[in-house]
Every structure is written in C-alpha cells, then in structure tokens.
Structure 1
Amino acid sequence: MKVYIKTYGCQMNERDSENLAAQLKLRGHEIARTEAEADVFVANTCSVREAAEQKAIGKLLRISHKKKNGFPIIGVMGCMSQNRGSEIVKSVPKIDFIAGSRKTPYVADYIEEIAKRRKAGIIPQDPQKGERKKWKHNDAIINIEDDETSHNLIKLHDFSKSQICANISIMQGCAMKCSYCIVPKTRGIERSRPMEDIVNEAEILANSGAKEIQLLGQVVNAYGRGEMPNVQGKSPFVRLLEKINKINGIERIRFVSPHPSFFKEDLIAAYSSLEKICEYAHLPLQSGSDRVLREMRRPYSAEKFIKIAKALKASKEIFSLSTDIIVGYPNETEEDFLKTCEVFKECGFDMAYIFKYSPRMGTVSAELEDNVSEDEKERRNQILLEMLKKQSLDFNERLVNTSQEVLVESKAKRGLGNLMGRTRTHRKVIFKAPEELIGKLVSVKIISAGVSAMDGVLE
C-alpha cells in the first residue's frame, strides 16, 4: 500500500510521523509522494489551537470525497485524536481509525487491520454504491487509551531521507499546569525513555551521517524528573547531554521545548562545559507581567526569567535566545503588556513565536472572559513583531564580517548554486558552494544580514 502522511504542528509530531514512515517501510509499504496516489491518508494532528483542528478536519473531509476509484483508508493520529476521540467521526463519517497520542506506534497495525477488513468485504469500498451509508460508528478503530510503553517505541528513523540534523524523542507527556495549554490533556502523563536507549539511538544516527542531534520533549529539560535521580548535583537531562556530547560524529546538540523552571545551574553550566551544545536556547516567556504569569500558572517571575536569560547569554561570547509570547490574555492590561515589552527588550530575543490569545476548550483559561478585543490583541502583536524585527536584525548584523561555522543542510530555495546552512546560533546562512558540501561543517564569512537570514561566502 501507498501511505501519505500529512503532519500538522510541532517537531514532536514530525518525529512521530517519521517513526510511522520508517515502520511502514519495514513492513513493505511505500510512502506516497502525493495525496492523489495514496491508498492510505493519515493526518497527524495538532490541538494547540482550535484553528489547527479545524484545518485538519477540513483536509480530512476533502480527502474523503476526493477518491474516484474507491476511497482511501483514512486515519487520524496525534493530539486532535486524543482531544476529540470518537467525536471526529461525527465531523468526518468516513474515518477508518483514530489513534490517540499514546497509540501512534500502533498506527501501522490499524492500517493493515482496516485493509484486511476491506478485503474481506466487512467495510464497503465503492463510494458509488452506498457511500458508506451502512457505515456503523463501531466500524472505525478508535483507541485513545493510555499506554505505559509508547514513549519507548518512537525510535525508528527513515534513513532514505537526509539525517544531517536528526531528532530524537526522549520523553512524552507534560506534567505542567499552564492555564491556557491543552498539551497535558492531549499528550498525557510525563514519561521518560531510558537514558541508554537514547544514547544508542544517537550513536546509530551518528553512524548514519547525522552531525546534529535535537532532543525533543514537551518539557524536554524535565527529562527523568521523578523517575531518575540527580547524581553529584546533575539532573538526568544534563547527564544525558554529557553522554551524547561524547559520541563521535555528533558535532552539535540542541533541544526543544524546554521550560524556564528547569534551567537550573547545572544546565546553564553545561553550555560552557559541553562544547557540542549550541549557543542557542528557546526560553518561553509568555508574559513579562508577574500578575499575568500567576494567572497563567507559570511558576517563575519576570525577575527570575531575566536572571536565567542573562546567565545563558553570559555562558558564551554570542548567544541566541528565542521565546514564546501570548498577547491579550484575559484581563491583560496595557501596563501588563508594557512589562512584557520591557522583558522582551532586556532579554534581547532575536527569534520569537508571538501569538494572539484565543480560548482553548478544556483549559482553565477558557472559563475566563476573553475580554481583550481582537483589535487590541493585533495592536500588541504588531508592536512586539516590530521589536522582534529590530532585535533580530541587530543580532544578525553583529555577525557581519565574522567567520561562522555553518552546518550545510540543503540547497537554498533562492538562486542556482546557493546552499543553505545554519550557524551554531541557529541563524540561516545562504552562500554559493558545490552540492557535495551538503552535510558538512564549513567556515563561511558573513557579508550581509537581513532579519531572517544572512548572506555569506565560503572561506
């Protein structure tokens, strides 16, 4: 069978999709390049915002009415499956299976089971003869139950694709209680993989040509919390970083998505002591107002956050910080917003994801009145975006006329003969060079800088 996987949302979802693709290939199936040629369509969904779910539902409806010569097997996996479960069948009646976020390792089983049912005539196949009018709700495979082992099963990689920069899922779930966030509901209980399993996976990737490893988790720097001890003042996460730092062939280490509360002294010190950890961190602020942070159930103050940001920046000569911001949270005043602007400037964020608050059903904040107008949310959003442009450009201009180590990732989208790579600070660089340098570390002199990328010349 040919399977097309459509992935929405975060890097954890991208990793789950890659694991599924690798599993299907091992079973003799093919990953389709387009939806049109697929026998199976799988949507790996996101639930962070209502709009993300509606986008996936729209796609599923179009797919279910598109196939002319027998409809494809249609399945849903990921966060929307966990959040909405069997309700999805009401929106898209032709769904064949719904796999919750803890059941993604079993999606290949569900696909093959549905195919067997069709072959046996248990499920109607001809859209011209009944269009599933005889379809019963219990014909769909629906499994959103918890699974205590699923986090250990996301370890397959699709080596038919470039693995220059490879992702490793080190944990699943989230135990935080942020008032606006649906992730604890959709991703479940926080569980961590055994350290040696992760190290073995990194070694396999290194032997296959990976130069950069990115560790993934909903709260990645809380890895091992409550499951593994601290040793000599070092958390399980820092000890994992130390082990990966020793792997031959791995040149760079990154991780997402961390939480400020788990940037303890040992992790900050690791940026100085472990040479492979890149000079970049994602540090989600959300708000610079202590009052709003308390309402959001974020367990840190603006002062504490700034202290962490400054400590990270002090660890290296040049250090890039990105963040997440929510504007227009219920009851956010102009004073609250201005405090966010102050922290944003003081921390010098050069990359950011800035969102206008929207209520998410199933969260604590959804019970509050959404009382900041859309116009006001947009105004605040634009102010921060303008600040971000300036700070990003200022950061990039600091690199002009310097030599930067660049990991060459791919051909550049613009211009023949151009390649694209990233600095250790995660900045994109475009430069002319032969294609055989893809996957290599090279020295590039930066000659000009824009807001989102820099131009360079190979040295």
Structure 2
Amino acid sequence: MQKKVAFYTLGCKLNFSETSTISRQFEDKGYIKTDFGKPADIVVINTCSVTENADKRFKTIVRQAQKVNENAFIIGIGCYAQLKPEELAAIDGVDLVLGATEKFKITDYINDLSKNDFGEVHSCEIDEADFYVGSYSIGDRTRAFLKVQDGCDYKCTYCTIPLARGISRSDKLENVLKNAKGISDQDIKEIVLTGVNIGDYGKGEFGNKKHEHTFLDLVKALETVDGIERLRISSIEPNLLKNETIDFVANSQKFVPHFHIPLQSGSNDLLKKMKRRYMRELYVDRVEQIKSLMPDACIGVDVIVGFPGETDEHFLETYNFLNELDISYLHVFTYSERENTLAAEMDGVVSNAKRKKRSKMLRGLSAKKRRAFYEKQIGKTHEVLFEGENIKGYIHGFTENYVKIKTPWNPELVNTLHEIRLDEIAEDGLVKCSFVHEEVSV
C-alpha cells in the first residue's frame, strides 16, 4: 500500500521552492502527496528561523500534524533544523531532523517509519554546505518560485541565514534555463526568481568563486525562455541592483516593473551597526532610478524595528525617510534576538512594548503607502494574471506592477492574462476592474 506524505512550509519563497522539489522526490519514489491536515504517514515540515516566532510556530505545526494522525512520522528540515537540530529533535512527536546538506537526500533516510522516543539527527557543519541543488515550485497553476542562488556571504549583525544556509553559491545558467523550461511546460505563466541573495548570482558556482555569469546575464537569458509570460525579480539588495538591470527591466517584454528592495533602517547610524553594505543615500538613488524609467513600478521595502540602539530619534528618522520615499508597501519585521549573532550582544536593547508600537506605526504607514499607490493606478490600463481560487464569488489576480484586483468569478479566466482597466478600490482594499476588450464576459 502506497504511503502518503504531507508538507508544511514556514518562511520564505526559497523554502517553498525547495519543499516543492523535495515533494517531487517523494512522488518519484512512489509516495502519494497529500494536503497538510489530511491523514498522512509522513509529514515534512520545512522550517524557518528568521524570527523567534518562526521557531515557536514549528511546535504548533507538529501538534496539528499529530491531531490528524498521532502515528505520523514527522521530519523537520530547513534553517531551524540546521541551527538547532537537537532542540528540534527533542520536541514531542519529531522523529527525524535533517540539516542543510541532508534535506535533499531525505528519501534515503526513510527506511523504518516507526515512531522514535527522541528525534534522530543528521546534520553537518555549515561549511560542508558548499554544493548547490536547484529547486522550483509548481504547486500553483499561475506562478512558480524558481531558485537561482543559495547562501550568503554577507555578515549582517542580526542575521542567522549564513549560519543556516552557508556560503553564497549559484546554479549554473544552463540548469536555471532548463528548470525555467520545465516550469513553462507545466503551462505556468509567471516565474518569481528566488534565493537568499539573488543579486549575488554567479558567485560560487558549486562552491568555487569564479564569476562565470552575472545577475544581468541571468535576467537576459531568462527573457528568451519560450512560454513564460512574466518574470518577477522578487527581493534584491540595493547595492546589487545595478542601473543596467533596472534599464533592462524597463525595456523588457517579460520582466515586470516590481522590485522588492530590503532597506532595514532609514538611519545611517543603524545601517552601519547592522553591517549593511550601503547607506540610505544609495537607496534613494535606486528608487529614483526605477521611478524615472518606470513611473508605475511597484517598490516593496523590508524594514526592521527595535534593533539594539534604535532610539526614538532613529525610529522617526526611518519613519520620515520611508514616508517621503516613492514606495508602494512595507514588510515590517520586529527585531528578535538570535543566538550567535553580534546584535544579540549589543547594548541599547529596545523594550518589547516599544518594538510593538513602532511596528504598528510602520504597518499603518505601509497601508497608507499601498492605498496611495493603488489610487495612482485608478483609470489606467494594465495586464492581469488571474489566479485559480473562487473567493466569496470573486476571482483575484495581480497586475504586472503588483496591484491586487478582483472581478466576479469566472472559471474561464483562471491562469489567463487579460488587459484590464482599474476602476475603483473596493472596501476590502482590492481594486475592481473592467475588461478593455468586450468579448470577455463576467
């Protein structure tokens, strides 16, 4: 009787691409993939450890899996599994923990599905994670996350990712193109590029330090893949987003005008303490360069509140800086202390109450920025890619510049691109639209 396996992914797009690849490995071995929350013989949880909350959520997911099947064989992989394998293995119900080098050999470790009193650990020193495994997700009919790079050589003082994923290394260009073609063959219309630090692409192919290709080489090559209608860069460091790349996107037929650029702080003092590789002036330059060529481009920003030493003045400096920038939305992260980072030992600890207050203020600013960006798009014509879910009688989709729209449900629209006019912002914050070509009926 074929065994069933379920998956749950915490964290980033990169984790989703890797979970999808691992699920295909199971299917190749004869396992049946099932949805999390349904009975399964094996449950694989891909962990994150960017914040303390992500660690805590792992325990919750384990309990949920046990409610469905108390005898399920539970496996932990991912960043938390690499950083704290023994701690994870000690959680009641966890049977196997695989580190950074072992997760892609997961099916080799499953011989006996008997429950263990204590989780079995197979981990490595992170220096051993010097090889590359390509990944992509094809769970969604409309878009796929394509991993092009892994690891990071940056030493930001708050971040554990280099400890969890190792050195910066990239996929070979021909393999990226092969995976992109594999995605296209699934009739998926959009690819989102993902990695830990994708602007560093071309560095450390399979552990060496030859710069055979650059990020610009990568985007130019992906432009030529048949069948893919849209390519989205996702997150890229401001110091690695070069003018040549911005120029290329501005003139591209496939790369969309949407950038997500981590800032972390609007204070140069804090950027130095964080060991970021730019100052706020460079960030302004990147935003202005994008907007000069693509006035309707969507720009998202990562920002951290409550970093050690962040005074009220520092926070207001960040708030005012973001308020004045022509950006579209924020991803706000409340700083949490992580073991083995320099920031965890710094003076000037910000109280939890202040962290929460500052986070709330920036989330409010984000809502204001998104609303203002949407309002600027009203009356304009864009192209939307429709998704596959019927949500309260509506079908949703995203324009090329990441405006989320809705229109009455029509199954014929799923996974299709249409030219639409943005009409008005609905009460739920999404944008209602009308079709430019009358032959589309709703």
TM-score by length of structure 1 reads 0.87
2:227 corresponds to which residue? 249
2:188 corresponds to which residue? 210
Q: How many residues are matched?
A: 429
Q: Deviations over 1:351-404 (max 9, x none)?
A: 211122221122110112452222322332232222222221111011112221
CA contact (8 A) 1:173 1:187 kept: yes
Describe the SS at the equivalent of 1:97.
Answer: strand
Residues 263-282 of structure 1 aligned to structure 2 (within 5 Å): 263-282=241-260
Residue 144 (str. 1) matches residue 121 (str. 2): no
Q: Which amino acid aligns with 2:84?
A: R
Shift of 1:43: 1.1
Residues 336-415 of structure 1 aligned to structure 2 (within 5 Å): 336-369=314-347, 371-414=349-392
Moved more, 313-322 or 30-39: 30-39
Shift of 1:207: 2.4
Q: Deviations over 1:162-200 (max 9, x none)?
A: 432111111111111111111111111211010010011
Residue 21 (str. 1) matches residue 20 (str. 2): no
Q: Which amino acid aligns with 1:23?
A: Q
2:57 corresponds to which residue? 55
Describe the SS at the equivalent of 2:202.
Answer: coil
Aligned equivalents of 2:286, 2:112: Cα separation in 1: 51
CA contact (8 A) 2:301 2:327 kept: yes
Q: Which amino acid aligns with 1:258?
A: I
CA contact (8 A) 1:98 1:142 kept: yes
1:105 corresponds to which residue? 104
CA contact (8 A) 1:105 1:150 kept: no
Aligned equivalents of 2:194, 2:28: Cα separation in 1: 24
Aligned equivalents of 1:59, 1:212: Cα separation in 2: 30
Moved more, 374-383 or 420-429: 374-383
1:457 corresponds to which residue? 434
Aligned equivalents of 2:38, 2:189: Cα separation in 1: 35
Describe the SS at the equivalent of 2:90.
Answer: helix
Shift of 1:229: 6.5
Moved over 3 A (4+): 61-68, 144-150, 226-231
Which of these two proteins has the greater Rg computed from alpha carbons?
1
CA contact (8 A) 1:214 1:255 kept: yes
Residue 37 (str. 1) matches residue 36 (str. 2): no
CA RMSD of aligned residues (A): 2.2
Q: Which amino acid aligns with 1:143?
A: S
CA contact (8 A) 1:408 1:420 kept: yes
Aligned equivalents of 1:167, 1:66: Cα separation in 2: 29
2:9 corresponds to which residue? 7
Aligned equivalents of 2:346, 2:134: Cα separation in 1: 39
Structure 1 residues 317 and 349: alpha-carbon distance in aligned structure 2, compared to 1, 3 A threshold: closer
Aligned equivalents of 2:160, 2:264: Cα separation in 1: 15
1:312 corresponds to which residue? 290
Q: Deviations over 1:297-354 (max 9, x none)?
A: 1111111111111111112131111011111211112221122122212322212111
Structure 1 residues 145 and 332: alpha-carbon distance in aligned structure 2, compared to 1, 3 A threshold: closer
1:258 corresponds to which residue? 236
Aligned equivalents of 1:387, 1:62: Cα separation in 2: 35
Q: Deviations over 1:192-229 (max 9, x none)?
A: 01001001111121122121111111011111135577
Shift of 1:145: 4.8
Describe the SS at the equivalent of 2:255.
Answer: coil
CA contact (8 A) 1:86 1:142 kept: no
TM-score by length of structure 2 reads 0.91
2:72 corresponds to which residue? 72
Aligned equivalents of 2:268, 2:108: Cα separation in 1: 48
Describe the SS at the equivalent of 1:349.
Answer: coil
- Unaligned 5+ segments in structure 1 are 119-124, 126-131
Moved more, 140-149 or 386-395: 140-149
CA contact (8 A) 1:20 1:105 kept: yes
Shift of 1:27: 1.3
Structure 1 residues 153 and 377: alpha-carbon distance in aligned structure 2, compared to 1, 3 A threshold: closer
2:135 corresponds to which residue? 154
Aligned equivalents of 1:25, 1:317: Cα separation in 2: 45
Q: Deviations over 1:209-268 (max 9, x none)?
A: 12111111101111113557778xxx6111111111112221111123311110122222
Structure 1 residues 452 and 321: alpha-carbon distance in aligned structure 2, compared to 1, 3 A threshold: farther
CA contact (8 A) 1:431 1:458 kept: no
Percent of paired sites with the same residue: 27
Moved more, 191-200 or 310-319: 310-319
Shift of 1:64: 5.0
